[in-house]
Structure 1
């Protein structure tokens, strides 16, 4: 039936689902084992949430279900495209995907620690940066003692690699 013959109050709005973390077209969706576990855990939580929707209004229940299903579709696309990078296969003396890097930033006294992870696992508040970020791309293949220079609008920021570790 055409939407023109449906009462206005019966028309459902298409749920606006926030996009997942940006992964450029054509980029491989690399994830750590922990990152994959988090994606799978998120899927289980969404399924539980969907299965436990409790609403007296059937329309509200349908809208909530559609919203969760849309989020699940995006999540399943990420899970299906994920390529787990085993950190035990990485070069221990070189910054690669999965590495936790201790950095000395020129002009800053405190050392910084970042782990290079997949886009869905990245969280700067937890010291996890996406492998596609400018800093991560500069650090890849660096060794202890080497420097990476990030060009900024007003000068540059120099990072010296102090330590590299691969903790599973």
Structure 2
């Protein structure tokens, strides 16, 4: 039997989705999430409520596509607001630099070089601010975990589906945490 709620069974002990995620976030990431929450709460939700009210006033709701669409959209926005409110309460903002700037910790911008001489620049950020286009990876990602605590010229070995990947840390910098 197939259905949207049917999934294959996964062992909770080995399922990576069950791993505890860190609640760390940069000040910029926190401000961004706070801005999204404020926009949805103060602008988007009232607009959708007005649209739903206007569509409901037109009469029969069972055949009113405008009402149905806006009601679903309103419920989606309300769920997102609820999620963001809960998430913002859980987050811990990291607003200062580590004492040892020569090692990789949360918020570090790291340049890695692989065995072929190709470089990869990544920044370690919180789970909520990952961005593949900017090469911002979660501090919980396997590559980030392998780098944590390492210093310049240290080897980083990451287990990947195609085998182990070896990197050397060639540069460690920290972005401005306050702006």
Normalising by the smaller structure, the TM-score range is 0.7 to 0.9
1:61-94: CA deviation from partner (whole Å, max 9, x where unpaired): 4432222110111111111100011242352110
Residue of structure 2 equivalent to 1:104 = 113
1:106-160: CA deviation from partner (whole Å, max 9, x where unpaired): 22x4321111001110011111000110000000001010011112343311111
Residue of structure 1 equivalent to 2:22 = 28
Residue 120 of structure 2 corresponds to residue 126 of structure 1? no
| CA shift for structure 1 position 165 | 0.7
Contact (CA 8 Å) 2:127, 2:139: kept in 1 or not? Answer: yes
RMSD over aligned CA atoms reads: 2.0
TM-aligned CA distance change 1:74 to 1:96, over 3 Å: same
Structure 2 matches for 1:1-168, cutoff 5 A?
26-47=20-41, 48-53=43-48, 55=51, 56-58=54-56, 59-60=67-68, 61-107=70-116, 109-168=117-176
Query: Which runs of no fewer than 5 residues in structure 1 stay unpaired?
Result: 1-21
Query: Which runs of no fewer than 5 residues in structure 2 stay unpaired?
Result: 1-15, 57-66
The count of corresponding residues between Structure 1 and Structure 2 is 146
Structure 1 distance, partners of 2:17, 2:103, is 24
Structure 1 length as normaliser, TM-score?
0.78
Structure 2 length as normaliser, TM-score?
0.73
TM-aligned CA distance change 1:44 to 1:90, over 3 Å: farther
